[in-house]
């Protein structure tokens, strides 16, 4: 019997020029995913991913469909290589943008529709960032409640709970600066500014959420075939209404990633397979669920670790 396995999918920030190049060159299944992305979006996304320039790739409306495409390409390359022996997911989860990828993997939405949604999501998020200068910072060595307390009254918010002692906060620039100072006073070991366009998963994104609600209302979702653990609750989504609500609310809501990994580990997952660029989520799994096997499939060579 196969080991209970969770598939994980990364979010924005994992992008790098050349990601997925080996899969594109060597896997017909992966190449077909890239080609479909170009056709659906009516633009040379593959060229931007494989060749850059980085200034183009990093823009939210390109980065989000690019990461989705590379993650699904690696998933299809894995299925192509192993056939019926390919690892099967017991659970799926994705960090922020990666939640869309997880829903594609779980059959709740098709790849083409997900591409259009995340392209629109990136446009709306960038517009919200342009409207309100804002940022994010990773607090190291400070737990969730003290981080929340540091944000109280400043206008900043907790945006990501990546592990017990890696909490990301965000907000309008002046608000974030105040919250960071309070976090340091409360004992944060470091506060690392993140290279992002603005404060994702905070109220800064409220205009983007309004726009996404319109886009999501036009999509016919299906119930996920496997449990997809939601960012905002750390528990599985099983109905179409839950999926639509999650994708709407997560733009302004906190990503409870540590709680999501804990849920899957406690529910029996003993192996976590990250499919996509970067490998950041694999490192977080090792901190959160240290006894579990964690494998980062960032390219075709990494598939050998799954045998």
Query: Active-site positions?
Result: 96, 201
The angle that helices 111-131 and 206-217 make with each other, rounded to 10 degrees, is: 160
Find, among 124, 135, 136, 76, the residue nearest to 101 by Cα. Answer: 76
How far is CA 240 from each of CA 68, 188, 244, rounded to the nearest angstrom?
A: 21, 40, 6
Q: State how far the Cα of 161 lies from the Cα of 6, in Å rounded to an integer.
A: 19
Contact 31, 85 (CB under 8 A): no
Distance (Å, rounded) from C-alpha 71 to C-alpha 67?
6
Taking CA atoms, 84 is separated from 78, 88, 149, 279, in Å, by: 11, 9, 50, 25
Beta carbons within 8 Å of 283's beta carbon, 6+ residues apart: 294
Strand ranges in the chain using DSSP code E only, listed in sequence order: 5-9, 91-94, 134-140, 157-163, 166-172, 190-193, 228-229, 236-237, 271-275, 293-297
Closest CA to 217 of 183, 182, 243: 243
Q: CA-to-CA distance for 294 and 282, rounded, in angstroms? A: 6
Tokens of 202: 């905070």
Tokens representing residue 110 in the block: 């098709």
Residue entry with tokens 């608000």: 175
């Amino acid at each position: 019997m196969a080991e209970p396995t969770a598939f994980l999918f990364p979010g924005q920030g994992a992008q790098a020029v050349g990601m997925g190049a080996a899969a594109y060159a060597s896997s017909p299944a992966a190449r077909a995913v890239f080609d479909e992305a170009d056709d659906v979006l009516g633009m040379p996304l593959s060229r931007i991913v494989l060749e850059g320039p980085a200034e183009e790739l990093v823009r939210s409306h390109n980065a989000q469909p690019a990461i989705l495409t590379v993650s699904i390409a690696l998933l299809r390359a894995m299925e192509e290589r192993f056939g019926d022996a390919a690892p099967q997911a017991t659970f799926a989860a994705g960090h922020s943008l990666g939640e869309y990828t997880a829903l594609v993997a779980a059959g709740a939405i098709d790849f083409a529709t997900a591409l259009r949604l995340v392209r629109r999501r990136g446009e709306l998020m960038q517009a919200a960032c342009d409207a309100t200068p804002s940022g994010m910072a990773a607090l190291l060595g400070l737990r969730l409640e003290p981080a929340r307390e540091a944000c109280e009254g400043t206008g900043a918010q907790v945006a990501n709970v990546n592990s017990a002692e890696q909490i990301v906060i965000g907000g309008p620039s002046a608000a974030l600066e105040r919250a960071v100072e309070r976090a340091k006073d409360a004992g944060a070991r470091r506060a690392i500014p993140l290279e992002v366009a603005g404060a994702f998963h905070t109220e800064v994104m409220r205009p983007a959420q309004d726009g996404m609600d319109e886009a999501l209302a036009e999509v016919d979702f299906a119930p996920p075939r496997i449990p997809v653990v939601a960012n905002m609750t750390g528990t599985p989504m099983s109905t179409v209404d839950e999926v639509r609500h999650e994708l709407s609310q997560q733009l302004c809501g906190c990503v409870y990633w540590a709680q999501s990994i804990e849920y899957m580990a406690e529910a029996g997952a003993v192996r976590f397979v990250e499919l996509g660029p970067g490998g950041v989520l694999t490192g977080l799994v090792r901190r959160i669920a240290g006894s579990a096997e964690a494998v980062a499939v960032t390219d075709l060579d990494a598939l050998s670790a799954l045998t």
